[in-house]
Structure 1
Amino acid sequence: MKSVIILCGGRSKRMGKDKGSLLLNDKPMVLHVLDAIKNIADEIILVLRDTEQIESYNTILNHRNMSLKAVADETKDGGPLIGILTGLSYINSDYAQILPCDSPFISKDFVVKMFELAKTDDFDAIVPVWNDGHIEPLHSLYKKSTIETIEKLISKEKRNVSSLIENLNAKYVPVEILDKTNMSFQNINTIKDFKDI
Protein backbone atom coordinates (compact mmCIF):
# COMPACT_ATOMS: atom_id res chain seq x y z
CA MET A 1 0.00 0.00 0.00
CA LYS A 2 1.25 3.48 -0.91
CA SER A 3 0.41 6.09 1.71
CA VAL A 4 0.83 9.84 1.32
CA ILE A 5 0.56 12.39 4.11
CA ILE A 6 -0.13 15.99 3.06
CA LEU A 7 0.74 18.60 5.66
CA CYS A 8 -1.62 21.54 5.51
CA GLY A 9 -1.98 22.56 9.14
CA GLY A 10 0.14 25.69 9.15
CA ARG A 11 -0.96 29.22 8.50
CA SER A 12 1.63 31.25 6.62
CA LYS A 13 3.00 33.99 8.88
CA ARG A 14 4.29 35.81 5.80
CA MET A 15 0.95 35.63 3.98
CA GLY A 16 -1.38 35.58 6.96
CA LYS A 17 -3.48 33.01 5.13
CA ASP A 18 -4.05 29.29 4.84
CA LYS A 19 -1.71 28.41 1.96
CA GLY A 20 -3.39 25.17 0.92
CA SER A 21 -6.63 26.97 0.08
CA LEU A 22 -4.93 29.79 -1.87
CA LEU A 23 -5.73 29.73 -5.56
CA LEU A 24 -3.02 29.06 -8.11
CA ASN A 25 -4.28 29.05 -11.70
CA ASP A 26 -7.85 29.13 -10.32
CA LYS A 27 -7.31 26.00 -8.22
CA PRO A 28 -6.49 25.67 -4.49
CA MET A 29 -2.86 24.65 -3.97
CA VAL A 30 -3.83 21.51 -2.07
CA LEU A 31 -5.67 20.28 -5.17
CA HIS A 32 -2.50 20.66 -7.26
CA VAL A 33 -0.77 18.31 -4.80
CA LEU A 34 -3.69 15.88 -4.80
CA ASP A 35 -3.72 15.79 -8.60
CA ALA A 36 -0.02 14.87 -8.58
CA ILE A 37 -0.64 11.78 -6.47
CA LYS A 38 -3.88 10.71 -8.11
CA ASN A 39 -3.65 7.07 -9.27
CA ILE A 40 -0.41 6.63 -7.27
CA ALA A 41 -1.47 6.77 -3.62
CA ASP A 42 -3.75 4.11 -2.17
CA GLU A 43 -4.25 6.10 1.00
CA ILE A 44 -4.06 9.87 1.58
CA ILE A 45 -4.00 11.48 5.00
CA LEU A 46 -4.52 15.24 4.96
CA VAL A 47 -3.25 16.71 8.24
CA LEU A 48 -4.97 19.99 9.10
CA ARG A 49 -4.69 22.42 12.02
CA ASP A 50 -8.04 21.75 13.71
CA THR A 51 -11.67 20.72 13.14
CA GLU A 52 -12.51 24.22 11.89
CA GLN A 53 -9.92 23.91 9.11
CA ILE A 54 -11.22 20.41 8.29
CA GLU A 55 -14.71 21.86 7.81
CA SER A 56 -13.41 24.60 5.51
CA TYR A 57 -11.47 22.04 3.45
CA ASN A 58 -14.52 19.78 3.05
CA THR A 59 -15.84 22.28 0.50
CA ILE A 60 -12.56 22.23 -1.42
CA LEU A 61 -12.31 18.43 -1.37
CA ASN A 62 -16.00 17.75 -1.98
CA HIS A 63 -15.67 16.59 -5.60
CA ARG A 64 -12.43 14.60 -5.32
CA ASN A 65 -12.92 10.90 -5.95
CA MET A 66 -9.99 9.75 -3.82
CA SER A 67 -9.44 7.67 -0.71
CA LEU A 68 -8.71 10.65 1.51
CA LYS A 69 -8.96 11.15 5.26
CA ALA A 70 -8.71 14.63 6.79
CA VAL A 71 -7.44 14.65 10.38
CA ALA A 72 -6.58 17.36 12.91
CA ASP A 73 -3.08 17.84 14.30
CA GLU A 74 -2.54 16.16 17.68
CA THR A 75 -1.32 19.55 18.92
CA LYS A 76 -2.72 22.66 17.26
CA ASP A 77 -0.01 24.82 15.65
CA GLY A 78 2.60 22.31 16.82
CA GLY A 79 4.63 22.55 13.62
CA PRO A 80 5.48 20.05 10.88
CA LEU A 81 6.98 17.41 13.19
CA ILE A 82 3.64 17.15 15.00
CA GLY A 83 1.96 16.96 11.58
CA ILE A 84 4.20 14.05 10.56
CA LEU A 85 3.50 12.28 13.86
CA THR A 86 -0.24 12.79 13.41
CA GLY A 87 -0.20 11.53 9.82
CA LEU A 88 1.94 8.47 10.56
CA SER A 89 -0.39 7.47 13.39
CA TYR A 90 -3.26 7.17 10.86
CA ILE A 91 -1.60 5.27 8.00
CA ASN A 92 -2.26 1.58 7.41
CA SER A 93 1.04 0.92 5.62
CA ASP A 94 4.61 0.65 6.88
CA TYR A 95 5.70 4.03 5.51
CA ALA A 96 4.39 7.24 3.96
CA GLN A 97 5.53 9.95 1.60
CA ILE A 98 5.22 13.39 3.21
CA LEU A 99 4.23 16.32 0.99
CA PRO A 100 3.57 19.94 1.95
CA CYS A 101 0.43 21.57 0.57
CA ASP A 102 2.42 24.64 -0.52
CA SER A 103 4.40 22.72 -3.17
CA PRO A 104 1.93 22.78 -6.07
CA PHE A 105 4.41 21.61 -8.71
CA ILE A 106 5.11 18.16 -7.28
CA SER A 107 5.51 15.73 -10.16
CA LYS A 108 4.07 12.24 -10.38
CA ASP A 109 7.53 10.96 -11.34
CA PHE A 110 9.01 12.28 -8.10
CA VAL A 111 6.42 10.47 -5.98
CA VAL A 112 6.76 7.25 -7.98
CA LYS A 113 10.56 7.29 -7.60
CA MET A 114 10.30 7.79 -3.84
CA PHE A 115 8.02 4.76 -3.51
CA GLU A 116 10.35 2.70 -5.72
CA LEU A 117 13.27 3.56 -3.43
CA ALA A 118 11.21 2.53 -0.40
CA LYS A 119 10.89 -0.99 -1.83
CA THR A 120 14.58 -1.50 -2.45
CA ASP A 121 16.24 -0.35 0.77
CA ASP A 122 15.67 -0.80 4.47
CA PHE A 123 15.87 2.75 5.80
CA ASP A 124 13.84 4.70 8.35
CA ALA A 125 13.62 7.63 5.94
CA ILE A 126 14.40 8.54 2.35
CA VAL A 127 15.44 12.17 2.16
CA PRO A 128 16.01 14.37 -0.92
CA VAL A 129 19.29 16.30 -0.63
CA TRP A 130 20.74 19.23 -2.60
CA ASN A 131 24.38 19.51 -3.74
CA ASP A 132 25.10 21.94 -0.88
CA GLY A 133 23.85 19.42 1.70
CA HIS A 134 20.49 21.13 2.28
CA ILE A 135 17.76 18.53 2.80
CA GLU A 136 14.03 18.44 2.04
CA PRO A 137 12.51 16.89 5.20
CA LEU A 138 8.94 17.79 4.18
CA HIS A 139 9.33 15.96 0.86
CA SER A 140 10.75 12.85 2.52
CA LEU A 141 9.42 9.36 3.05
CA TYR A 142 9.24 8.00 6.62
CA LYS A 143 8.56 4.62 8.14
CA LYS A 144 5.63 4.40 10.53
CA SER A 145 8.03 3.00 13.15
CA THR A 146 9.66 6.46 13.42
CA ILE A 147 6.68 7.49 15.58
CA GLU A 148 8.61 6.39 18.69
CA THR A 149 11.60 8.58 17.77
CA ILE A 150 9.32 11.56 17.08
CA GLU A 151 7.60 11.17 20.46
CA LYS A 152 10.99 11.10 22.22
CA LEU A 153 12.09 14.27 20.42
CA ILE A 154 8.86 16.07 21.29
CA SER A 155 9.21 15.06 24.95
CA LYS A 156 12.61 16.81 24.87
CA GLU A 157 11.01 19.93 23.30
CA LYS A 158 12.74 19.26 19.94
CA ARG A 159 10.29 20.17 17.17
CA ASN A 160 12.68 20.49 14.22
CA VAL A 161 12.15 17.88 11.48
CA SER A 162 15.88 17.93 10.77
CA SER A 163 16.41 16.68 14.34
CA LEU A 164 14.26 13.69 13.47
CA ILE A 165 16.33 12.82 10.41
CA GLU A 166 19.54 13.10 12.43
CA ASN A 167 18.17 10.37 14.71
CA LEU A 168 17.18 7.99 11.91
CA ASN A 169 18.86 5.56 9.55
CA ALA A 170 18.23 7.79 6.52
CA LYS A 171 19.03 7.32 2.86
CA TYR A 172 19.91 10.62 1.15
CA VAL A 173 19.02 10.89 -2.54
CA PRO A 174 20.15 13.79 -4.76
CA VAL A 175 17.20 15.95 -5.82
CA GLU A 176 18.26 15.83 -9.48
CA ILE A 177 17.73 12.05 -9.48
CA LEU A 178 14.22 12.51 -8.11
CA ASP A 179 13.17 15.51 -10.21
CA LYS A 180 15.44 16.88 -12.94
CA THR A 181 13.44 20.14 -13.03
CA ASN A 182 13.58 20.63 -9.21
CA MET A 183 10.00 21.93 -9.44
CA SER A 184 8.69 19.33 -6.98
CA PHE A 185 10.58 21.19 -4.25
CA GLN A 186 9.39 24.70 -5.06
CA ASN A 187 7.39 26.14 -2.15
CA ILE A 188 5.00 29.05 -2.33
CA ASN A 189 5.73 31.01 0.84
CA THR A 190 5.05 34.65 -0.02
CA ILE A 191 2.85 36.77 -2.26
CA LYS A 192 6.00 37.49 -4.27
CA ASP A 193 6.33 33.74 -4.97
CA PHE A 194 2.89 33.86 -6.60
CA LYS A 195 3.89 36.82 -8.74
CA ASP A 196 7.13 35.12 -9.82
CA ILE A 197 5.30 32.09 -11.25
Structure 2
Amino acid sequence: MRVLGAILAGGRSSRFGSDKALAMIDGRPMLEHVAERLDGQCDGLVVIGRDWPGMIWADDRPEPGLGPLGGLAGALAYGRDHGFDAVLTSSCDLPALPDDLLAMLGAPDALLQRQPTIGLWSVDHADGLVAYLRSDRSRSIRAWAETMKASTIAWGDGLANINTPEDLAKFSRSERPRSSR
Protein backbone atom coordinates (compact mmCIF):
# COMPACT_ATOMS: atom_id res chain seq x y z
CA MET A 1 0.00 0.00 0.00
CA ARG A 2 1.47 3.36 -1.08
CA VAL A 3 0.74 5.94 1.62
CA LEU A 4 0.89 9.71 1.21
CA GLY A 5 1.51 11.79 4.31
CA ALA A 6 -0.59 14.97 4.30
CA ILE A 7 -0.22 17.93 6.66
CA LEU A 8 -3.45 19.92 6.97
CA ALA A 9 -2.18 23.50 7.24
CA GLY A 10 -4.88 25.79 5.88
CA GLY A 11 -6.40 26.94 9.17
CA ARG A 12 -6.64 30.48 10.54
CA SER A 13 -4.87 29.81 13.89
CA SER A 14 -7.38 32.11 15.61
CA ARG A 15 -6.80 30.74 19.15
CA PHE A 16 -3.04 30.88 18.67
CA GLY A 17 -3.03 34.52 17.58
CA SER A 18 -0.50 34.01 14.78
CA ASP A 19 0.36 31.37 12.19
CA LYS A 20 0.80 28.10 14.14
CA ALA A 21 2.69 26.40 11.33
CA LEU A 22 5.46 28.99 11.75
CA ALA A 23 5.68 28.67 15.56
CA MET A 24 9.23 27.75 16.49
CA ILE A 25 10.06 24.57 18.40
CA ASP A 26 13.73 23.77 18.97
CA GLY A 27 14.68 26.31 16.31
CA ARG A 28 12.40 24.94 13.57
CA PRO A 29 8.82 25.73 12.50
CA MET A 30 6.17 23.44 13.98
CA LEU A 31 5.06 22.28 10.53
CA GLU A 32 8.54 20.90 9.88
CA HIS A 33 8.35 18.76 13.04
CA VAL A 34 5.07 17.26 11.77
CA ALA A 35 6.62 16.70 8.33
CA GLU A 36 9.59 14.89 9.87
CA ARG A 37 7.32 12.56 11.86
CA LEU A 38 5.10 11.72 8.87
CA ASP A 39 7.91 11.47 6.32
CA GLY A 40 9.48 8.44 8.00
CA GLN A 41 6.18 6.54 7.79
CA CYS A 42 4.99 7.44 4.30
CA ASP A 43 5.99 7.11 0.65
CA GLY A 44 5.47 10.82 -0.08
CA LEU A 45 4.52 14.02 1.69
CA VAL A 46 2.30 17.00 0.82
CA VAL A 47 1.23 20.16 2.65
CA ILE A 48 -2.46 20.96 2.16
CA GLY A 49 -3.96 24.44 2.19
CA ARG A 50 -0.81 26.54 1.88
CA ASP A 51 2.46 26.87 0.04
CA TRP A 52 5.51 25.77 2.07
CA PRO A 53 9.09 26.34 0.88
CA GLY A 54 10.82 23.15 -0.21
CA MET A 55 7.70 20.99 0.02
CA ILE A 56 4.99 19.88 -2.38
CA TRP A 57 1.65 21.50 -1.63
CA ALA A 58 -1.95 21.27 -2.79
CA ASP A 59 -5.18 23.18 -2.26
CA ASP A 60 -8.19 22.31 -0.14
CA ARG A 61 -11.11 20.84 -2.10
CA PRO A 62 -13.60 21.76 -3.38
CA GLU A 63 -12.50 25.25 -2.24
CA PRO A 64 -10.63 26.94 0.62
CA GLY A 65 -12.39 27.81 3.87
CA LEU A 66 -14.11 24.47 4.55
CA GLY A 67 -11.97 23.57 7.54
CA PRO A 68 -9.96 20.38 8.05
CA LEU A 69 -12.47 18.33 6.05
CA GLY A 70 -11.75 20.48 2.99
CA GLY A 71 -8.05 19.84 3.61
CA LEU A 72 -8.71 16.12 3.81
CA ALA A 73 -10.60 16.29 0.51
CA GLY A 74 -7.61 18.03 -1.08
CA ALA A 75 -5.24 15.41 0.31
CA LEU A 76 -7.36 12.52 -0.99
CA ALA A 77 -7.57 14.07 -4.46
CA TYR A 78 -3.82 14.71 -4.55
CA GLY A 79 -3.10 11.18 -3.37
CA ARG A 80 -5.42 9.61 -5.94
CA ASP A 81 -4.04 11.75 -8.77
CA HIS A 82 -0.45 10.83 -7.88
CA GLY A 83 -0.79 7.05 -7.56
CA PHE A 84 -1.16 6.61 -3.80
CA ASP A 85 -3.57 4.12 -2.21
CA ALA A 86 -4.13 5.89 1.10
CA VAL A 87 -3.45 9.16 2.88
CA LEU A 88 -2.15 9.51 6.45
CA THR A 89 -3.28 12.93 7.71
CA SER A 90 -2.32 15.22 10.57
CA SER A 91 -2.92 18.87 11.28
CA CYS A 92 0.13 21.12 11.46
CA ASP A 93 -0.25 21.63 15.23
CA LEU A 94 0.65 18.10 16.36
CA PRO A 95 4.47 18.18 16.43
CA ALA A 96 5.02 15.00 18.49
CA LEU A 97 3.34 12.36 16.34
CA PRO A 98 4.46 8.85 17.27
CA ASP A 99 6.83 7.08 14.90
CA ASP A 100 4.43 4.12 14.78
CA LEU A 101 1.32 6.14 13.88
CA LEU A 102 0.71 4.35 10.58
CA ALA A 103 0.94 0.92 12.23
CA MET A 104 -1.33 2.06 15.07
CA LEU A 105 -4.06 3.16 12.65
CA GLY A 106 -3.81 -0.12 10.76
CA ALA A 107 -5.83 -0.10 7.57
CA PRO A 108 -7.93 2.61 5.95
CA ASP A 109 -10.35 4.00 7.04
CA ALA A 110 -9.39 4.92 10.61
CA LEU A 111 -8.97 7.99 12.79
CA LEU A 112 -7.88 8.83 16.31
CA GLN A 113 -10.78 9.38 18.68
CA ARG A 114 -9.16 12.34 20.47
CA GLN A 115 -7.49 13.88 17.40
CA PRO A 116 -9.73 13.39 14.35
CA THR A 117 -7.37 15.23 12.01
CA ILE A 118 -5.12 12.19 12.42
CA GLY A 119 -6.41 9.46 10.18
CA LEU A 120 -5.65 6.93 7.49
CA TRP A 121 -8.01 7.20 4.52
CA SER A 122 -8.45 5.42 1.20
CA VAL A 123 -8.02 7.73 -1.79
CA ASP A 124 -11.14 6.08 -3.23
CA HIS A 125 -13.15 8.56 -1.12
CA ALA A 126 -11.81 11.66 -2.93
CA ASP A 127 -14.85 12.35 -5.11
CA GLY A 128 -17.34 11.22 -2.48
CA LEU A 129 -15.89 13.61 0.10
CA VAL A 130 -16.14 16.54 -2.32
CA ALA A 131 -19.79 15.62 -2.94
CA TYR A 132 -20.35 15.39 0.83
CA LEU A 133 -18.87 18.87 1.33
CA ARG A 134 -21.06 20.30 -1.43
CA SER A 135 -24.18 18.80 0.17
CA ASP A 136 -24.14 21.27 3.08
CA ARG A 137 -23.78 18.58 5.76
CA SER A 138 -21.57 18.86 8.84
CA ARG A 139 -17.98 19.82 8.07
CA SER A 140 -16.72 17.78 11.00
CA ILE A 141 -14.21 15.04 10.21
CA ARG A 142 -15.90 12.90 12.87
CA ALA A 143 -19.34 13.33 11.26
CA TRP A 144 -18.00 12.38 7.82
CA ALA A 145 -16.03 9.45 9.31
CA GLU A 146 -19.26 8.11 10.84
CA THR A 147 -20.89 8.07 7.40
CA MET A 148 -17.85 6.10 6.17
CA LYS A 149 -18.06 3.68 9.11
CA ALA A 150 -14.40 4.40 9.80
CA SER A 151 -12.64 2.69 12.69
CA THR A 152 -12.04 4.92 15.70
CA ILE A 153 -8.77 4.28 17.53
CA ALA A 154 -8.93 5.08 21.26
CA TRP A 155 -5.48 6.63 21.61
CA GLY A 156 -4.20 10.17 21.66
CA ASP A 157 -4.99 11.49 25.14
CA GLY A 158 -1.37 12.46 25.72
CA LEU A 159 -0.70 13.75 22.22
CA ALA A 160 0.29 17.41 22.33
CA ASN A 161 -2.05 19.62 20.31
CA ILE A 162 -0.73 23.19 20.13
CA ASN A 163 -3.71 25.58 20.03
CA THR A 164 -2.46 28.49 22.16
CA PRO A 165 0.88 30.12 23.00
CA GLU A 166 0.50 28.55 26.46
CA ASP A 167 0.25 25.09 24.86
CA LEU A 168 3.44 25.82 22.93
CA ALA A 169 5.29 26.92 26.07
CA LYS A 170 4.17 23.79 27.93
CA PHE A 171 5.16 21.55 25.02
CA SER A 172 8.57 23.19 24.72
CA ARG A 173 9.29 22.28 28.35
CA SER A 174 8.11 18.66 28.05
CA GLU A 175 9.73 15.34 27.26
CA ARG A 176 8.58 13.97 23.91
CA PRO A 177 8.12 10.23 23.38
CA ARG A 178 8.74 8.91 19.85
CA SER A 179 6.38 5.92 20.05
CA SER A 180 2.79 5.30 21.15
CA ARG A 181 3.93 2.44 23.37
Give the TM-score taking structure 2 as reference length: 0.82
Query: RMSD value over aligned CA atoms?
Result: 1.9
Partner of 1:132: none
**Contact map agreement 2:85 2:123 (CA 8 A) in 1:** yes
1:11-90 residue pairs with structure 2 within 5 A? 11-49=12-50, 54=51, 57-58=52-53, 62=54, 68-74=55-61, 75-90=63-78
Within a 5 Å distance, the mapping from 1:1-197 to structure 2 comes to 1-49=2-50, 54=51, 57-58=52-53, 62=54, 68-74=55-61, 75-91=63-79, 92-114=83-105, 117-118=106-107, 125-129=109-113, 135-158=114-137, 159-175=139-155, 182-183=157-158, 185-197=159-171
User: Counterpart of 1:97 in 2: which secondary structure?
Assistant: strand
Contact 2:40–2:99 (CA under 8 A) maintained in structure 1: no
After TM superposition, the runs of 4+ consecutive aligned structure 1 residues lying more than 6 A away are none
In structure 2, what residue type is equivalent to 1:8? Answer: A
Provide the C-alpha distance between the structure 1 equivalents of 2:11 and 2:33, rounded to a whole number of angstroms: 17
Could you state the TM-score of these two structures normalised by the residue count of structure 1?
0.76
Change (3 A) 1:169 1:160: same
Distance in 2 separating the partners of 1:137 and 1:148:
20
SS at match of 2:148: coil
Q: Distance in 2 between matches of 1:38 and 1:156?
A: 33
C-alpha separation between the residues in 2 aligned to 1:190 and 1:138?
17
Q: 1:162: Cα distance to partner?
A: 1.6
Gaps of 5+ in 2: 172-181
SS at match of 2:56: strand
SS in 2 for 1:104: coil
Deviation at 1:44, TM superposition (A): 1.0
2:8 counterpart letter in structure 1: L
Percent identical pairs in the alignment equals 24
Residue 193 of structure 1 aligns to a residue whose secondary structure is: helix
Summarize the Cα distance change of 1:38–1:153 in structure 2 as closer, same or farther, 3 Å threshold.
Answer: closer
Secondary structure of 2:35's counterpart equals helix
Give the paired residue count: 165
CA gap of 1:152–1:72, structure 2 versus 1, over 3 A, is closer
* C-alpha displacement of 1:34: 1.3
Say if 1:128 and 1:15 are closer, same or farther in 2 by CA, change over 3 A.
closer
